[in-house]
Amino acid sequence: MEKEDREGLIRLLQQEADLAVGCTEAVMVALGAAKIKEVLGGLPQYMEISVSPAVWKSGRRVGLPGTKEKGLNMAAALGLFAPLEKGQQLLGHLEPQALERAKGMVERGTIKTNVLLNKEGLYVSIWAWAGADEAKVEMEHSHTRFSKVWKNEKLIFRENRDHPDISSLLAWDLMELWDKVLALPVYRITFLRDKALVMWEFVRDIAGGKVEPLSPLTRFFLQEMGESFAEKVVPLTGMAVAERMAGAPYPVLTSAGSGNQGILISLPLLLWEKEWEESPGRLSQALALAHFTNMYLRAHFGKTSTLCGVVLSGASLAAAVCWLLGGSRRHMLHGVQMFLGNSSCLLCDGAKEACSLKVALAAHTAIIIGKMAFQGLKPEPEAGIIGDTLQETLSLMKKIMEIGMEEIDFYLGKINYLKGGSY
C-alpha cells in the first residue's frame, strides 16, 4: 500500500474514532456555544441556536453528562462554561458551579433554539450578542469542526476543508478497503483498543455494582446478565447505551461521529477478546475493520439519516466477527449482506435511552450472522432487499429511503415543533 493511502486512512480513523462524553449532537451544540464565548470574549447576553432536524431529534431527549438535565438549550448553556479545547469531551470537564449558572441562563430565556425543518444532515448555527459585539458560528457536516465564524458581521474564519472525509473511502470497493486496512501497521491502530477500554472500565464498574445506574433500563439489563458470551453481550452493550443516553459522564469511542455506533462496534469485540483470549494486536485489527466498514457504509447514506445507525454498524460488527473466526473476505461480505437484509430500513426516531434495546439486539444479531457467514452461509440474491452485490443492496436501500423515508426527519421535527416540544 502506498504511503499516501496509509497515512490518509490512519488520519481518517483518528478523526472519526474519538472519545466523546455525551450524545454527539448535544455536544455539537455545546461546542458551538463554547466557540461563541471565545469569539465574544465572555458570556453572551442573548444566544439563538438554529439546528437541522437531524441534530434536534438526536439531541433534545438525551441526558446531559453529569446532570439531570436534557435539551439543546441546556446543552448550549453548559457549553458556555465548558473548556472548548477538550473537544467532544468538554461536558465532562465542567466546574461544580457551571450547572446552576447554566440553568439560570435557560430560565431567564437567554437562550432560544429553532429547528430549520428543511435543512438536511448535520447543521448547527449559533448567533449571539454581548454589549456592542455580536458573533455567529456555523457547523456543518461534522460534529466537531467549525465551517464559518463571524464577529460583528465580519467573517473571521472559514474552514479550509483540508480534512479527510469518509466519502474518500468510496474510491475502493469494500473488499479492497479491507485489504488496505489489514495492511496498516498494527502499532498505528492500537489506539482504538486503548480508547475502547476507557468505556469498558465504566461498563465493568456498572456490572460490578461499583456505580449506581442512572437508567431503569440498565437495572433490567443487569438482571439479564449471565455467564456465557451470548448472555453477556446483550446486557453489556445495552447498559452502556442506556447509561450514556441517561447522562452518565463517561467517554465512549465514537464511530463515524456516533457514540452508540462506537459502543455497538467496540464492546462486543472487547468482550470477545476477553472470552477467547485474542491478542491485543489482532483485536485492534478487528476494531479497525469494523470502524472502516461502518465509515464505508455510512458514506453511502451520510452521517445522519433516517436509517438507524445500528443497521450499518451492526453489519460492520458482523464482518469483524467473521474475520476473527478466520473467514475470508467473501465470507465477511456475505455477513454484511445478511445483516443489511435482516435489519434494513430500521427507522431512526431520535436518540434516547430506549436506543439501548436496538443496540443490544443488533450486537446479538451481528455475532450470530458473523458466525453464519464464517460457516459458509450466504444471502439469497434478489430475495427481499438483497441484491447480487453489496452495491446493489445499498442502492436498493437508498431507493427505498428516498421514496418512503426521505422526509421522516422533517415530520419528526414538525410534529414535535407543533406540539411545543422541549428544546
**Plot region of 302 (φ>0 → left; ψ -120 to 50 → alpha; else → beta):** left
pLDDT at 413 over 60: no
Q: Which ranges constitute the DSSP H helices of 17-124?
A: 24-40, 53-59, 72-79, 98-107
- Write phi, then psi, for 6 (nearest 5 degrees): -60, -50
CATH number of the structural domain 23-158? 3.30.1330
Higher per-residue confidence, 116 vs 404: 116
Q: Is the CB of residue 323 less than 8 Å from the CB of residue 310?
A: no
Distance CA 411, CA 383 (A): 31
Three-state SS sequence of 262-298: HHHHHHHHHHHHHHHCCCHHHHHHHHHHHHHHHHHHH
Predicted confidence at residue 346, as pLDDT, reads 85
pLDDT at 3 over 90: no
The pLDDT tens digits of the residues spanning 25-46 come to 999 999 999 999 999 999 999 9
For 117, the grid coordinates are 425543518
Beta bridge partners of 385: none
Asked whether the CA dihedral 394, 260, 361, 230 is positive or negative, the reply is: positive
**Amino acid sitting at position 129:** W
Q: Is the CB of residue 390 less than 8 Å from the CB of residue 336?
A: yes
pLDDT at 196 over 70: yes
Q: Is the CB of residue 397 less than 8 Å from the CB of residue 339?
A: no
Distance CA 278, CA 349 (A): 36
Long-range contacts, 274-282 (Cβ 8 Å, 24+): 275/229, 278/324, 280/190, 280/193, 281/186, 281/190, 282/324
Domain ranges (residues) in the chain: 23-158, 166-415
* CATH of region 166-415, choose from 1.10.4100, 1.10.10, 1.25.40, 1.10.600: 1.10.4100
**pTM (predicted TM-score):** 0.94
Distance CA 48, CA 46 (A): 7
β 148-151/133-140 pair status: antiparallel
Q: What is the DSSP letter of 20?
A: E
For 415, the grid coordinates are 410534529
Span 230-240, average pLDDT? 95
The pLDDT tens digits of the residues spanning 267-314 come to 999 999 999 999 999 999 999 999 999 999 999 988 777 889 999 999
Tell me if residue 211 falls in helix, strand or coil: coil
Distance CA 38, CA 85 (A): 11
pLDDT at 382 over 80: no
The pLDDT tens digits of the residues spanning 243-265 come to 999 999 999 999 999 999 999 99
